[in-house]
Amino acid sequence: MKGLMSISALVESMGEMTHRAGSRRPIVMSTRIRLARNLAHYPFPGWAKKAQRDEVLGQCLDVVMQVPKIKRPKGGRLDELSELQRQILLERHLISRELICEPEGAGVIISISKNQACSVMINEEDHLRIQVLRNGLHLKRAWNFIDAVDNVIEQSLNYAYSKELGYLTACPTNVGTGLRASAMLHLPGLVISGQMDKVVRAVNQLGIAVRGIFGEGSDASGSFFQISNQQTLGETETDILQRLRSVMSTIMEREQDARENVLEKDSSKLLDKIGRAYGILRHGRLISSSEAMNRLSLIRLAIDIGSIPDEFRDLVDPLFIECQPGHVQFSINKEIEPTQRDVIRAAILRQKFSKIPQPVFGHLNL
Amino acid sequence: MAEPIQCDLCSKSATVHLTQIVDGKIHKVDLCETCANEKGVTDPNGFSLGDLLGGNVENERLGNAPIHLKCEVCGFTPADYKKHGRLGCPSCYKNLRPLIMPMLAHMHKGTVHDGKIPRHTLTREEQKQKLDDLNASLKKAVTEERFEDAARIRDAIIRQIEKDEGAHVH
């Protein structure tokens, strides 16, 4: 198939997760919704033979590329992308680690517009994983979009569906609505004040999962957490989204309280951390991706509390992605060892931070 | 005095201690009063420790699933699920029902779908089913040399195909 994705164009465009529009809000970074769908009469991808996977891939690519709401789609087979290109898409949350691990007979279609990114993974755990990412907290808008895309795809493809159990998925944890909605929250206040464990335990009991920035099994680098629904069967999509939203509102309130508390009781410690983070990002020579995430997280917090002007948020937010290993290598157009990456990463950060003024704390009246 | 035992479900002190033997294996659970009430521990008929034992429950259920269970469409068995953690095909939900339903009850809010419906899929699948049934009847009528019936069925098939095509055009 023609028109394979131009990853360079994608990387040069504004990162969908940290897009300018709507990312003004502190705490919430982005919203994501995905639907798991499978074709009737085919084995699930993990159990399908190569010929069956290819057949499903062909059918899905043809249909998804024609969905009008998926504007200017770029897509193709995953095995036609280089490892670095796959890594870039992974770091941008446009494909999953699982898709990378089983590239044979797998594909992806991506569409990026001003306010959001949409990607459809083919032959991941399920035949179709349709997902949309938006900046800020926009569960309803994201749902309306993905619902419409799903309806159009279903006009041409027969979904595996049972009246009793809903959309049938490879893993029983997704059966029913096949809906997983999540928001990426920046929670340094709760992390610094040691309350995160308590929050995780409490929301788990409400059927809500908390994961690190890169999903299942990843750590909470930079104090970013993905909060998502765990249950998919037995309630409507609207109910799921409503419950998630209400849990998120509570977490956001707690985070705000924690920040105020830390500033009130332990301001010197926090401001010292912010000051040091700025110093290292502005002048450091060797910075790992994990260190970059944690330091940038403090700079984002400094913007939230007004120590760095808000206009610099647009410069800081994309750095969370641009500091990832794939993006660092892409910036110099070759694959390099981790130590060399740390040098390049530090150089990128020094250059960006030369434009960002140092944090001031006078307005806090401390 | 010994350290108080913590509830297995929350951080309170456990005051209810239970032991149950399932298939020769001993399971112990310690609960606080609130969790014990919530889980219906006070009702001896409706209570199974298996429902409380979190991570092990799935394996226990897999172990207890009937060994003859097999998906007739894709050949998937409970042992395959244990190995891969995923199912083989959409029909596994029907063919491995004794394995899957208890897991769903444990994982989800309910066991019956309450979300959106793929209307086009359902219409097409119903149409396909009708045609398959008519074709089977036609074959049977021909085999039994009931030619008048066969002609009627053939006309019904033609009507059905025309109707389906009309529905697709709209």
Q: Which of B10, B113, B168 to mutate to test the interface with A (most CBs of A within 10 A)?
A: B113
| A234–B110 C-beta distance less than 8 A | yes
DSSP element (H, E) containing A263: helix A237-265
Q: What is the mean pLDDT of chain A?
A: 90
What are the residues of chain A with a beta carbon less than 8 Å away from any beta carbon of chain B?
A: 38, 40-44, 46-47, 125, 147, 150, 154-155, 157-168, 170-173, 175-177, 179, 201, 207, 230-237, 239
Closest CB from A41, A47, A176 relative to B115: A176
pLDDT surpassing 70 at residue A47 = yes
| A168–B113 C-beta distance less than 8 A | no
Q: Which of A167, A199, A230, A243 to mutate to test the interface with B (most CBs of B within 10 A)?
A: A167
Residue A176 forms beta bridges with which residues? A167
What are the residues of chain B with a beta carbon less than 8 Å away from any beta carbon of chain A?
A: 11, 74, 76, 80, 84-90, 93-94, 100, 103-104, 107-122, 124-125
How far is the alpha carbon of A114 from chain B, nearest alpha carbon, in Å? 28
| A155–B109 C-beta distance less than 8 A | no
Q: How many helices (H) and strands (E) in chain B?
A: 7, 2
Number of alpha carbons in the 13 Å side-chain half-sphere of residue A182 = 24
pTM for this structure? Answer: 0.80
Task: Check if the beta carbon of residue A341 is closer than 8 Å to that of residue A325.
Answer: yes
Chain B partners of A166 at a C-beta cutoff of 8 Å?
Answer: 113, 115
Enumerate residues 6+ apart whose C-beta is below 8 A from A251.
A185, A187, A190, A199, A203, A227
Task: Check if the beta carbon of residue B9 is closer than 8 Å to that of residue B15.
Answer: no
Both structure tokens of A109: 């279609």
Closest CB from B107, B112, B119 relative to A173: B107
Task: Check if the beta carbon of residue A128 is closer than 8 Å to that of residue A160.
Answer: no
Both structure tokens of A281: 């990002």
Both structure tokens of A61: 């690519």
- Cα–Cα distances (Å) from B34 to A200, A213, B42, in that order, read 20, 34, 11
Task: Check if the beta carbon of residue A43 is closer than 8 Å to that of residue B71.
Answer: no
* Farthest-apart Cα atoms in chain A, separation: 68
Closest CB from A41, A158, A233 relative to B113: A233
The distance from CA B66 to its chain's CA centroid, rounded to whole angstroms, is: 14
How far is the alpha carbon of A159 from chain B, nearest alpha carbon, in Å? 6
| B100–A234 C-beta distance less than 8 A | no
pLDDT surpassing 70 at residue A2 = no
Neighbours of A253 (CB within 10 A): 11
Helical packing angle, A267-283 and A338-353, nearest 10°? 110
Helix or strand or coil: residue A224? Answer: strand
Closest CB from A125, A177, A234 relative to B86: A125
| A158–B93 C-beta distance less than 8 A | no
Give the model confidence (pLDDT) of A230-269 as tens digits: 999 999 999 999 999 999 999 999 999 999 999 999 899 9
pLDDT at residue B35, as a whole number:
72
The distance from CA B41 to its chain's CA centroid, rounded to whole angstroms, is: 26
Give the model confidence (pLDDT) of A189-239 as tens digits: 999 999 999 999 999 989 999 988 766 555 567 899 999 999 999 999 999
The distance from CA A23 to its chain's CA centroid, rounded to whole angstroms, is: 13
Cα angle: A282, vertex A284, A288; to 5 degrees:
115
The distance from CA B124 to its chain's CA centroid, rounded to whole angstroms, is: 23
CA closest to A43 among chain B residues: B89
Give the model confidence (pLDDT) of A282-323 as tens digits: 999 999 999 999 999 999 999 999 999 999 988 998 899 899
Task: Check if the beta carbon of residue A294 is closer than 8 Å to that of residue A331.
Answer: no
Task: Check if the beta carbon of residue A246 is closer than 8 Å to that of residue A194.
Answer: no
Helix or strand or coil: residue A332? Answer: helix
DSSP-H helix ranges across chain A: 7-12, 50-64, 83-91, 97-101, 139-156, 188-192, 196-204, 237-265, 267-283, 289-304, 313-316, 319-322, 325-332, 338-353
3-state helix, strand, coil in chain A (%, to 5): 50, 15, 35
pLDDT at residue A176, as a whole number:
98
Both structure tokens of B128: 């396909």
pLDDT at residue A264, as a whole number:
92
The distance from CA B10 to its chain's CA centroid, rounded to whole angstroms, is: 30
User: Which residue ranges in chain B fall short of pLDDT 50?
Assistant: 1-2, 21-25, 42-57, 169-170
pLDDT at residue A270, as a whole number:
92
Give the model confidence (pLDDT) of A171-190 as tens digits: 999 999 999 999 999 999 99
Distance, in Å, from the CA atom of A105 to the CA atom of A124, rounded to the nearest integer, reads 9
Neighbours of A353 (CB within 10 A): 24
pLDDT at residue A79, as a whole number:
87
Distance, in Å, from the CA atom of A352 to the CA atom of A347, rounded to the nearest integer, reads 9
DSSP-H helix ranges across B85-146: 92-95, 97-107, 119-143
